[in-house]
Protein backbone atom coordinates (compact mmCIF):
# COMPACT_ATOMS: atom_id res chain seq x y z
CA UNK A 1 0.00 0.00 0.00
CA UNK A 2 1.29 3.45 -0.82
CA UNK A 3 1.67 5.27 2.49
CA UNK A 4 2.24 8.63 0.89
CA UNK A 5 -1.40 9.53 0.95
CA UNK A 6 -1.85 8.66 4.61
CA UNK A 7 1.31 10.28 5.94
CA UNK A 8 0.48 13.46 4.04
CA UNK A 9 -2.75 13.70 6.00
CA UNK A 10 -0.99 13.74 9.37
CA UNK A 11 -2.60 15.73 12.16
CA UNK A 12 -0.62 18.74 13.31
CA UNK A 13 -1.25 18.93 17.06
CA UNK A 14 -0.59 22.33 18.56
CA UNK A 15 2.46 22.32 20.85
CA UNK A 16 2.16 23.81 24.32
CA UNK A 17 4.32 26.93 24.22
CA UNK A 18 5.69 28.01 27.58
CA UNK A 19 8.00 30.97 28.20
CA UNK A 20 10.80 28.45 28.74
CA UNK A 21 10.55 27.09 25.19
CA UNK A 22 9.07 30.10 23.39
CA UNK A 23 12.29 30.85 21.42
CA UNK A 24 12.09 27.40 19.81
CA UNK A 25 8.53 27.97 18.65
CA UNK A 26 9.08 31.57 17.55
CA UNK A 27 11.89 30.36 15.31
CA UNK A 28 9.80 27.46 14.01
CA UNK A 29 7.12 29.95 13.00
CA UNK A 30 9.82 31.59 10.85
CA UNK A 31 10.80 28.18 9.45
CA UNK A 32 14.06 28.12 11.38
CA UNK A 33 15.20 25.29 13.67
CA UNK A 34 16.94 26.48 16.82
CA UNK A 35 18.32 24.53 19.77
CA UNK A 36 19.48 25.64 23.18
CA UNK A 37 23.22 25.14 23.68
CA UNK A 38 24.87 25.30 27.08
CA UNK A 39 26.97 28.47 27.37
CA UNK A 40 29.14 26.72 29.94
CA UNK A 41 29.94 23.35 28.29
CA UNK A 42 28.60 23.91 24.74
CA UNK A 43 26.35 20.84 25.00
CA UNK A 44 23.42 20.77 22.51
CA UNK A 45 20.29 20.33 24.63
CA UNK A 46 17.34 18.17 23.58
CA UNK A 47 14.46 18.35 24.30
CA UNK A 48 14.66 22.16 24.45
CA UNK A 49 14.85 23.55 27.99
CA UNK A 50 16.67 26.17 29.98
CA UNK A 51 18.90 23.76 31.86
CA UNK A 52 21.94 21.76 30.85
CA UNK A 53 21.68 18.23 32.23
CA UNK A 54 25.27 17.58 31.13
CA UNK A 55 26.84 20.13 33.49
CA UNK A 56 24.06 21.67 35.58
CA UNK A 57 24.22 25.14 34.04
CA UNK A 58 21.09 27.30 33.97
CA UNK A 59 22.56 29.45 31.24
CA UNK A 60 21.72 28.45 27.66
CA UNK A 61 21.73 30.25 24.34
CA UNK A 62 19.50 29.53 21.35
CA UNK A 63 21.43 28.87 18.14
CA UNK A 64 20.10 28.15 14.71
CA UNK A 65 21.07 24.70 13.43
CA UNK A 66 21.25 23.39 9.88
CA UNK A 67 18.08 21.29 10.02
CA UNK A 68 20.04 18.48 8.39
CA UNK A 69 20.55 15.07 9.88
CA UNK A 70 20.21 11.34 9.38
CA UNK A 71 17.72 8.66 10.33
CA UNK A 72 18.67 6.75 13.52
CA UNK A 73 15.53 4.59 13.43
CA UNK A 74 12.00 4.65 12.06
CA UNK A 75 8.68 2.80 12.27
CA UNK A 76 5.44 2.86 10.37
CA UNK A 77 2.94 3.07 13.23
CA UNK A 78 -0.31 1.60 11.96
CA UNK A 79 -2.57 3.34 14.44
CA UNK A 80 -1.69 5.99 16.94
CA UNK A 81 -3.27 7.39 20.07
CA UNK A 82 -4.84 10.74 20.83
CA UNK A 83 -4.81 12.96 17.74
CA UNK A 84 -3.21 10.15 15.74
CA UNK A 85 -5.82 7.53 16.57
CA UNK A 86 -7.29 7.30 13.08
CA UNK A 87 -4.11 7.42 11.01
CA UNK A 88 -0.90 5.59 10.22
CA UNK A 89 2.33 7.56 10.23
CA UNK A 90 6.09 7.29 10.30
CA UNK A 91 7.61 7.82 13.74
CA UNK A 92 11.36 8.35 13.61
CA UNK A 93 14.46 9.33 15.50
CA UNK A 94 16.65 11.76 13.60
CA UNK A 95 20.24 12.56 14.57
CA UNK A 96 20.78 16.24 13.84
CA UNK A 97 24.24 17.09 12.52
CA UNK A 98 24.74 19.30 15.58
CA UNK A 99 24.44 16.30 17.93
CA UNK A 100 20.84 15.92 19.14
CA UNK A 101 18.64 12.84 18.65
CA UNK A 102 15.07 14.03 18.09
CA UNK A 103 11.78 12.16 17.95
CA UNK A 104 9.81 13.26 14.90
CA UNK A 105 7.84 12.19 11.84
CA UNK A 106 9.25 11.51 8.39
CA UNK A 107 6.78 12.81 5.81
CA UNK A 108 6.39 12.54 2.04
CA UNK A 109 8.16 9.17 1.95
CA UNK A 110 7.25 5.50 1.63
CA UNK A 111 8.64 3.31 4.40
CA UNK A 112 9.88 0.93 1.71
CA UNK A 113 12.26 3.71 0.59
CA UNK A 114 13.54 4.52 4.09
CA UNK A 115 16.81 3.27 5.52
CA UNK A 116 18.67 3.93 8.73
CA UNK A 117 21.46 6.41 7.99
CA UNK A 118 19.57 8.22 5.22
CA UNK A 119 19.98 11.98 5.09
CA UNK A 120 16.95 14.07 5.99
CA UNK A 121 16.14 17.76 6.29
CA UNK A 122 13.67 19.69 8.38
CA UNK A 123 10.39 21.04 7.06
CA UNK A 124 7.64 22.83 8.99
CA UNK A 125 3.92 22.11 9.21
CA UNK A 126 1.50 24.85 10.17
CA UNK A 127 -0.04 24.02 13.57
CA UNK A 128 -2.43 26.98 13.64
CA UNK A 129 -2.29 30.12 15.80
CA UNK A 130 1.03 31.01 14.22
CA UNK A 131 2.73 27.87 15.52
CA UNK A 132 4.65 25.42 13.32
CA UNK A 133 5.75 21.86 13.95
CA UNK A 134 9.15 20.74 12.65
CA UNK A 135 9.14 17.41 10.81
CA UNK A 136 11.61 15.79 8.45
CA UNK A 137 11.68 14.66 4.85
CA UNK A 138 14.29 12.86 2.76
CA UNK A 139 17.08 15.17 1.59
CA UNK A 140 17.35 15.23 -2.16
| Residue 68, C-beta contacts closer than 8 angstroms, at least 6 positions apart | 96, 97, 119, 120, 121, 122, 139
**d(Cα 8, Cα 89) in Å, to the nearest integer?**
9
CB of 120 to other proteins, least distance (A): 14
Instruction: Please identify, using beta-carbon distances, which residue of 46 and 119 lies nearer to other proteins.
Output: 46
**d(Cα 25, Cα 132) in Å, to the nearest integer?**
7
Residues in contact with other proteins by CB under 8 A are 10-11, 13-17, 21, 43, 46-49, 53-54, 72-85, 89, 91-93, 95, 99-105, 111, 116, 127, 133, 135
CB of 24 to other proteins, least distance (A): 9
**d(Cα 23, Cα 29) in Å, to the nearest integer?**
10
Instruction: Please identify, using beta-carbon distances, which residue of 1 and 64 lies nearer to other proteins.
Output: 1
CB of 51 to other proteins, least distance (A): 9
Amino acid sequence: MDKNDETRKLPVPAPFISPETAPFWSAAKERRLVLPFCTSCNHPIWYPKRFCGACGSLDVEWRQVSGAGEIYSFSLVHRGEGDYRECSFILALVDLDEGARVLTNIVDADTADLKIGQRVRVIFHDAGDGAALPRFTLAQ
